[in-house]
Structure 1
Amino acid sequence: MPAETRQQTAPVDADHPVAEVPVAPRDRGGAVEWTLFGLGMLSLVFANHKVTWDARRRYDALDQLLSGDGLSEDRYSLLGPLFATPMWLAGQVIGRPDVWLAYFNLVVFALALLALHLLLRGRVDAGLLRRFLLLLVVGSMIPAHISNFYAETFSAMTVGVGLIAAYLAATHPWWRRLGWAGLALGTANIAATLPALALTAADRAVRLRRLRYAVPVVTAVLLVLGEAWLRRGDPLDQGYTGERFDYPMALGVLAILFSFGKGLVWFTPGLFLPIRRRLRGLYDAGAVDLWGAYRSWLIYVGAMVAVYANWWAWSGDLYWGPRFFLLAVLPAALALAVWLTRPDARAWPNVMLLGVLSLSVWVAANSSVFESSGAPRCYDKANLQEDYCRFGVVESDLWYPLTDWPGNLAPGRYAQLAFFAVVWAWLAAPIVARLTRSATAWLRAHPVASPAQWRW
């Protein structure tokens, strides 16, 4: 039976109530949206791929190991970079392995999208799945994060896809075990996320009364300790000696959520859309607990916010956007896709939806077109003022092009902007139509008085 016509069946988690709800509207526009998806992936190929800053340190550590010079003592994990070994080997044959590794995170992201499609196809409403994947490409901050050899894309994709696999129901248990293995690997790649994995696994363990969910946490801890032991001779030496955890926690949380240059409210607005009731009927709960996976995504992201809030470098320094919280693009894209698939007829929810959609597409366009530009005021090496980029509106990576348009954009970048405008127009058209109908109905119910009715 097609996913669009299924009714929700018994859920996996006991706290997820059964409800008979209408099925989603008839699925339309599949060919158009898959075409936009393909063009969006093509645009990622033409991003400004490079190996710079901390990414260069990761590359040098991998290059040192694969060249036979032993393990680097650098603090950045090699777990994720090791998966780039085939690309490094190809670069050795053809030349410039660093150029090849600049595309590693794009490959990781593409494989993650393929995995999400294969895991959710037939288990989730076809329109919802398609828009979810489309929004990950053209409605998220992913373009700025697949263009460098940083760790966040690998961790976000292994953890994100791993949670979907972990919440499969009607399938072989080995898929779920592989999902939790992905969580352990992605978490160990960034040791600071260990508390996030622990909280996510603890939530699952309490709900199902199973102790086995401690296994991925223990596995991740052993990977982190083992790597430190091999590389630095001490399992407790993570290479971050002397790091300051003196940023006021409350201010850190507020900054991570609301600062104009790094805040999740601006960079992942879909994260704050409520979807629990709206999601019902859009997936087969007998095959996948999509709500459970979404909830675990939120727990993981929330725990990361709490962990990073106290660190002096909570902002990710001069990197574009809130790079530590890249995992948030998954629940944000899913939530927005849910609202686009099951819309609301009322005016104010549609106004909100139009705003969230517009901001999400602008985030993707900005991170694709302006990611390597940077606001001059806070990136001026002679007078570096990073807090302007973190907290200021005008200097924010997200907003400065609107007031200080870069004058050296190549024609290809304008073509990318035009593409994102087309994406926005396609996804926004039904919302605008509903708002137009609402406005027309309101005007009919509240006719304007004729001039003859006016008195002094």
Structure 2
Amino acid sequence: MSIRVAAPPQVHAPSTDDGRLAARVETGLIIAGFAGMLFLLPRLDWGDGSIRYFQLTALLSQGTVPDGKYSMIGPLFSTPLWLIGDSVGSPVWWTLRYNPLLLAGGVAFVWFALRDRLPRPILRRFVMLLVFASMFAHHQLGYNGEVFTAILVLVGTVALVGRKAWPGWLTVAVGVAGTPAALPAMALMTSKWIWDVRRLRWGLAVCAAVALVMAEAWLRRGGPLTTGYETDSGPRTIMPYSGVPGLSYPIFFGLLSLIFSFGKGLLFFAPGLFLPVRQRLGDLAVGRQLYDLWLAFVVGLLLIYAMYWSWSGSSFWGPRYLLFAAVPAAFALAVRCCRPGDSVLADVITVLALGLSIWAGLNGAVFGDVDVPKVCWPDGSGQYEAPICFYTPEFSALWHPFVAGAEPLTTGQWIYLGYGIAVGSYLMAGPLLRLAGHLRTWMSPTAARVRAMRW
């Protein structure tokens, strides 16, 4: 039961100068943050990202078409960066900046497309949360394909509500083709759109994405239905459903793990996703439409990856395949911060979710999961240790630095950490002050009674 308090005293609306000052401060923080991502933080060049990079290098330098299982659609868009880097003798340095540049381009598009359709304070807060206080903060460090898919789906859906339907759906289709497992998520989101607009023709967007996936498979692997994942599976471990390829994991356990587990659960890595926000969207029809589309895509991702044998993403930080969940999570938090209710309990929940999101962003950008794989995958198999990192808080990437300490940080990481703490404090200031005002109002009758007491 929520605690209702009297409405706070009416105050004058902030002046235009105050609004401009906040806009300038927040814009400066965002730009400086992107500069820090590009130049201060070390890049991750291991795992799937390194394979994609070597495949792109073989294609561009030798003309060799790779036949591996990882899609090359996303990496192909980083070709200009590779060519620039190759011309100056540092292709790795330039190519590994691809994901942060994708993120910057994506949020720039979102801002310019929505700045006159959503309240700008909400939009700026959404961008800040997405960049600094979400799973994107870690994913942008590497060259994996999840950022490409998430950003293109974000951009495409924003284009949709901006009455650019065909360009929007084409963007979504290209993004999803970069992660073929996201096709069911796209199908669910498209179904929601068809239901809303009553036009069956938008189902062609899913057909376009399927055609792209099949064309790449045919070109690279010799058959439109050859995915490269046919026999892909992990080792047989202590986990009862391990060692079986494909969608072999029980969906019930997969959903529980992807939502509630300490090391991979969305509840801890994207807590804003679970906050009720539709009532606060009120008259923001565009906001409601986007939020519903984004949720449909997340539900589709959850349902498919909950059955995948590698639902955990192995040693990767957090719920790797569910990066797009950061989008509706950040939007929900932005709305709740800018459009608060009158419930003390709701404000407490908002502050807790916001604080956890800020820490997830800082942890992912600065600490990551460098130490955790050493504990849970000491011999590379993870036969007995992997479940520890999936399910126990002490070995979650979020909390392990507090347990065992972190590896020494670089100067750039220290600078970014200090900067991130400053941004986090800025994001938390408003909700905390509002909560303090509610608590003061709630406690004032008790305080008055105490002051009236006599010996």
Scaled by the length of structure 2, the TM-score of the pair is: 0.88
Question: Could you list the per-position Cα deviations for residues 30-54 of structure 1 after superposition, in whole angstroms to 9, with x for gaps in the alignment?
Answer: 2222222122212211222132211
Which residue among 214, 217, 224 is the counterpart of 2:203? 214
2:142 is the counterpart of 1:148: yes
**In 1, Cα distance between equivalents of 2:248 and 2:187:** 23
User: Equivalent residues in 2 for 1:411-450 (5 A)?
Assistant: 411-447=411-447
What is aligned with 1:194?
Answer: 183
- Bigger CA drift: 264-273 or 383-392? 383-392
For residues 52-91 of structure 1, the aligned pairs below 5 Å read 52-91=46-85
Give matches, 1:9-408, under 5 Å.
26=14, 28=19, 29-45=22-38, 46-169=40-163, 175-243=164-232, 244=245, 245-281=247-283, 283=284, 285=285, 289-371=286-368, 373-375=370-372, 376-381=374-379, 384=382, 385-408=385-408
Cα distance between partner residues in 2 of 1:221 and 1:25? 51
Q: Secondary structure at the match of 1:198?
A: helix
Deviations 1:319-344 (A, max 9, x none): 11112111111111111111111122
Alpha carbons 2:185, 2:300 under 8 Å: kept: yes
**Residue type of the alignment partner of 2:182:** T
2:41·2:416 contact (CA, 8 Å) conserved in 1? Answer: no
Letter in 1 for 2:130: L
**Separation (CA, whole Å) in 1 of partners of 2:197 and 2:453:** 71
Distance 1:92 1:213, change over 3 A: same
RMSD of aligned alpha carbons = 2.1
Unmatched tracts of structure 2, length 5 or more: 1-11, 233-244
Q: Give 5+ residue unaligned stretches, structure 1.
A: 1-23, 170-174
Instruction: Give me the whole-angstrom Cα distance separating, in 1, the residues matched to 2:341 and 2:70.
Output: 46
Q: Counterparts of 1:107 and 1:207 in 2: how far apart (Å)? A: 33
**Corresponding residue number in structure 2 for 1:18:** none
What is the CA deviation profile of residues 269-293 of structure 1, one whole-angstrom value per residue up to 9, with x for unaligned ones? 1111111121123x4x4xxx23112
Task: State the TM-score, normalized to the length of structure 1.
Answer: 0.87
Give me the whole-angstrom Cα distance separating, in 2, the residues matched to 1:30 and 1:452. Answer: 48
Asked whether the 8 Å contact 1:166–1:180 carries over to 2, the reply is yes
Question: d(CA) in 1 for partners of 2:100 and 2:451?
Answer: 61
Aligned residue pair count? 421
Range 384-393 or range 81-90, more displaced: 384-393
Query: Residue by residue, what CA displacement relative to the aligned partner does 1:169-218 show, whole Å, maximum 9, x if unpaired?
Result: 4xxxxx22111001100111111111111111112112222111111100
Moved runs in structure 1, 4+ residues, more than 3 A?
Answer: 24-28, 381-384, 447-454
The verdict on how the C-alpha distance between 1:255 and 1:220 changes in structure 2, with shifts beyond 3 A counting, is: same
Once residues 53 and 90 of structure 2 are traced to their aligned partners in structure 1, the CA distance between those partners, rounded to angstroms, is 12
Cα distance between partner residues in 2 of 1:87 and 1:64: 15
Q: Is the 8 A contact 1:357 1:428 kept in 2?
A: yes
CA distance in structure 2 between the aligned counterparts of 1:117 and 1:431, rounded to whole angstroms = 23
- Structure 1 residues 383 and 63, CA, compared in 2 at 3 Å: closer, same or farther? closer
* CA distance 1:234–1:344, shift in 2 (3 Å): same
CA distance in 2, matches of 1:51, 1:449: 62
